[in-house]
């Protein structure tokens, strides 16, 4: 979120949901797509109280790297 905020792609506010941030990224579909995938995995693990496996961690790292590459 900090990276996207600094790049002026989103406007960070503590009360916003991941879905609201996804909507803010509509002008950058490649970033929006990866951020949506990342937040879906996070929400599935966090709110679904599912354990996080090494493959999940690696998938998240890859998604973050793709987002970082698109933003910078």
Q: pLDDT per position in the chain (72 positions), as tens? A: 999 999 999 999 999 999 999 999 999 999 999 999 999 999 999 999 999 999 999 999 999 999 999 998
Question: For residues 1 and 11, is the Cβ–Cβ distance under 8 A?
Answer: no
Spatial distance between the Cα atoms of 10 and 16, rounded to a whole number of angstroms: 11
Q: Which residue has the tokens 């916003």?
A: 16
The ranges assigned to domains in the chain are 2-71
Spatial distance between the Cα atoms of 11 and 48, rounded to a whole number of angstroms: 27
pTM, two decimals, is: 0.91
Spatial distance between the Cα atoms of 70 and 25, rounded to a whole number of angstroms: 12
């Amino acid at each position: 979120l900090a990276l996207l905020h600094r790049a002026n792609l989103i406007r960070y506010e503590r009360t916003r949901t991941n879905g609201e941030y996804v909507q803010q990224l509509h002008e950058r579909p490649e970033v929006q797509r990866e951020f949506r995938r990342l937040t879906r995995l996070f929400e599935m693990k966090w709110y679904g109280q599912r354990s996080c496996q090494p493959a999940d961690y690696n998938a998240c790292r890859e998604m973050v790297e793709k987002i970082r590459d698109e933003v910078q």
